[in-house]
Structure 1
Amino acid sequence: MELQPGHEALVRVPVATLWAAPEAVRPVDHPALADAPDIAAWIAGMDRDQRVGECVLSQLLLGERVLVTEVRADGWVHVVALEQPAGKLDHRGYPGWLPAAQLTPAPETPSTAPLVVDAALTALRSAPDGPVAVPAVVLGTRLTPAGRPVGGWRPVHVPGRADPLWAPEGDVVPLPTERPEAKEVLAVAERLRDLVYIWGGVSSHGIDCSGLVHLSWRRYGVTLPRDADDQAEATTPLAPGEERPGDLYFFARPGRRIHHIGIVSSEPHGEVRRMVHACYIQRGVVEERLPPDREATLVAAHRVV
């Protein structure tokens, strides 16, 4: 079955990168464009400046749903990422381009995915403790169980594959049925400290500021918008000083829209505020006291409710 405009598809690779346009990709991006993309090699092959190229819009994880809106003869498809809200761009989700080979048509009957990857990275195998079939499946990936665990391995369904694959039982956990406490979400973000900053990144290979927030909540089954300004609109403002660990700080320059977001990492003490964030300047995920330039552009604290 082929991909068709107006129909849904699923991501069939561990991490698929969403591009601004097929013509925007660079020679350094080739590892991310393969039928089986090597995101770690892609990131390792870029220099400091290439990692913030705006040709990348976002990333999608294994099993994530998209709506196909255009199919090109050269192997590219335009999609809307249905699990990444982006109200200012498209009311249906985040739009962009993907290589068609990284997708598979969605089944007519959607499956539930009550498991989520809790390890930073895991590998899916063709049999319990067998050969690796899908390497580098990332934190926050949702999976559908395919039966009972066997000897410390759990069978799961994977889009585009007829037979189940096997995940280490300790690397996947049930998706919570209740909203998590903010401190639990903060703990996910803190596990990603020192991760490299990648513009548009939404994975435990590399990530950007709003991607860190999106992925940390996604781990607990909560869908937040993809971009920082949309995340501000989807959350509840707090009075100054009311923020608590796990809440969100938003930053904007005078007269401009929100350009940065961080996760509050400790209660404020006087003028001292701290956060975990994917820092464009430092090119990585850090936990720190807000430096003067951040204090000067802090415009709000919000809570996910």
Structure 2
Amino acid sequence: MELQPGREAVVRVAVATLWTSPEAVRPVDRPALTTGADIPAWVSGLNTDQQVGECVLSQLLLGERVLVSEVRPDGWARVVAVEQPAAKLDPRGYPGWLPADQLTTVDPATRTDHPLVVDATVTGLHAEPSGPVVLPGVVVGTRLAPAGPARDGWRPVHVPGRAAPLWLLDNHLTPAPAASPAAEQALAVAQRLLDVVYIWGGLSAHGIDCSGLVHLAWRRFGVLLPRDADDQAVATTPLTLGAERPGDLYFFARPGRKIHHIGIVTATPGDDGERRMLHACYRRRRVIEEPLPADRTATLVGAHRV
């Protein structure tokens, strides 16, 4: 079936990039636009200026649902990413553009009330147990429908857009949790992304931004926080500064401006007032863990808890 405006579709590549418009993409973005969406090749080809190009809005993971708004003859689809809340942009989710061939129609076989979640930071899906990788670059937080019991340490899963199940190591999967995580559990997921390159709009272990790091860490446990930092502040519970604990969130804003940055608390504040956080750092172009420098402390506007 072809994509239809007004109907849902799902992502059929490991990681799809959501763009501001088809006209905004650059020549350097070609690897991310192909049918296979080679995100590692795309990221490795970006220079430090291109890593923060505002043509990228967000990214979507394999199996993620979208609502199709428009399909253009040139192969682009305007969609709403319904699993990435963005109340100020669209009450249904995050709007943007994707190459249409990175989407497929919804197959009931790929839907389940008891999905499996990828817990490996990055993994690949194989044609058969111990066989060749046919879908590389699948990242933590991806949800897949089981296609049968594990066999010799491998698990078959349904994959959108593919008739036959694919296989991955069973220990790379975990059942979707039934309860919200402890804050330390989400922090532990984020800590596995230390040194991942900063990509504006990134939402994967190949490249990520500050609010993407927070969104992905909690998404691993089925908690769908908003996509952007200012919306994440609205969706979380403010704390008195000094009461924060590891796994809580720090928010930053300049005087009279909206929130522009977010980090995850990694230590209880010290007696000397030192605070530490893990964050995707725009300046350093990496995910880092550090004490708050003076300029960060000057723009710290609150601590919140999920």
TM-score band by shorter chain is over 0.9
The amino acid that maps onto 2:213 is L
5 Å matches for 1:213-252?
213-252=214-253
Q: Structure 1, residues 186-239: CA drift from partner, whole Å, max 9, x if none?
A: 111111101100000000000000000000001111110000000000000001
**Counterpart Cα distance in 2 of 1:25 and 1:3:** 22
Counterpart in the other structure of 1:303: 305
Residue matched to 1:191: 192
Is the 8 Å Cα contact of residues 110 and 160 (structure 2) preserved in structure 1? Answer: no
Return the alpha-carbon distance in structure 2 between the equivalents of residues 247 and 265 of structure 1. Answer: 8
Contact 2:110 2:158 in 1 (8 A): no
- SS at 1:104 equivalent: strand
DSSP 3-state at the match of 1:29: helix
Deviation at 1:108, TM superposition (A): 5.8
Name the structure 2 match of 1:52.
52
Q: TM-score normalised to the size of structure 1?
A: 0.98
The answer to whether the Cα contact below 8 Å between 2:110 and 2:144 also exists between their aligned partners in 1 is no
1:38 is aligned to 38
Counterpart of 1:83 in structure 2 is 83
Could you report, residue by residue, the CA deviation over 1:33-92 in whole angstroms, capped at 9, with x for unpaired residues?
Answer: 000011001011110110000000000000000000011000000000000000000000
User: Partner of 1:203 in structure 2?
Assistant: 204
AA aligned opposite 1:183: E
In structure 2, how many angstroms separate the alpha carbons of the residues matched to 1:106 and 1:259?
A: 35
User: Contact 2:125–2:134 (CA<8 Å) still a contact in 1?
Assistant: yes
The Cα of 1:269 is off from its aligned counterpart by: 1.1
| Corresponding residue number in structure 1 for 2:16 | 16
Matched, 1:119 2:120: yes
Cα deviation for residue 107 of structure 1 reads: 3.1
Q: Secondary structure at the match of 2:216?
A: helix
User: In structure 2, what is the equivalent of residue 98 of structure 1?
Assistant: 98
Give SS of 1:68's match.
strand
Q: For residues 57 and 183 of structure 1, what CA distance do their matches in structure 2 show?
A: 28
CA contact (8 A) 2:127 2:134 kept: yes
Alpha-carbon RMSD: 0.9
State how far apart, in whole Å, the 2-side matches of 1:268 and 1:114 are.
38
Instruction: State the shift of 1:111 in Å.
Output: 1.1
- 1:236/1:212 Cα in 2 relative to 1: closer, same or farther (>3 Å)? same
Q: Deviations over 1:140-165 (max 9, x none)?
A: 11111000000010000000111110
Mapped contact 2:187–2:264 kept (Cα < 8 A): yes
Deviations 1:112-162 (A, max 9, x none): 252111111111111111111111111111111000000010000000111
* CA–CA distance in structure 2, aligned partners of residues 109 and 6 of structure 1: 21
CA contact (8 A) 2:86 2:227 kept: yes
Cα distance in 2 for partners of 1:184, 1:251 equals 23
Structure 1: where are the runs of 5+ without partners? Answer: none
Counterpart Cα distance in 2 of 1:37 and 1:179: 32
- Aligned counterparts of 1:92 and 1:56: Cα–Cα separation in 2: 19
Q: Is the 8 A contact 2:107 2:160 kept in 1?
A: no
Match of residue 135 from structure 1: 136
Letter in structure 1 aligned against 2:303:
A
Structure 1: how far apart are the matches of 2:140 and 2:198?
16
2:16 counterpart SS class: strand
Residue 106 of structure 1: CA displacement?
Answer: 1.2
**C-alpha distance in structure 1 between counterparts of 2:109 and 2:37, whole Å:** 28
Partner residue in 1 for 2:62: 62
Query: Are residue 285 (structure 1) and residue 281 (structure 2) matched?
Result: no
Q: Distance in 2 between matches of 1:109 and 1:134?
A: 19
For residues 141 and 107 of structure 1, what CA distance do their matches in structure 2 show? 17
Structure 1 residue identity aligned to 2:148: G
Q: Secondary structure at the match of 2:40?
A: helix
* 1:178 CA drift (Å): 1.1
Q: Please report the TM-score for the alignment, with normalisation by the length of structure 2.
A: 0.98
Identical counterparts, % of pairs: 69
Shift of 1:105: 0.8
Letter in 1 for 2:20: A
1:95 partner letter = P
1:212 corresponding residue in structure 2: 213
1:272 matched to 2:277: no
Distance 1:110 1:66 in 2: 14
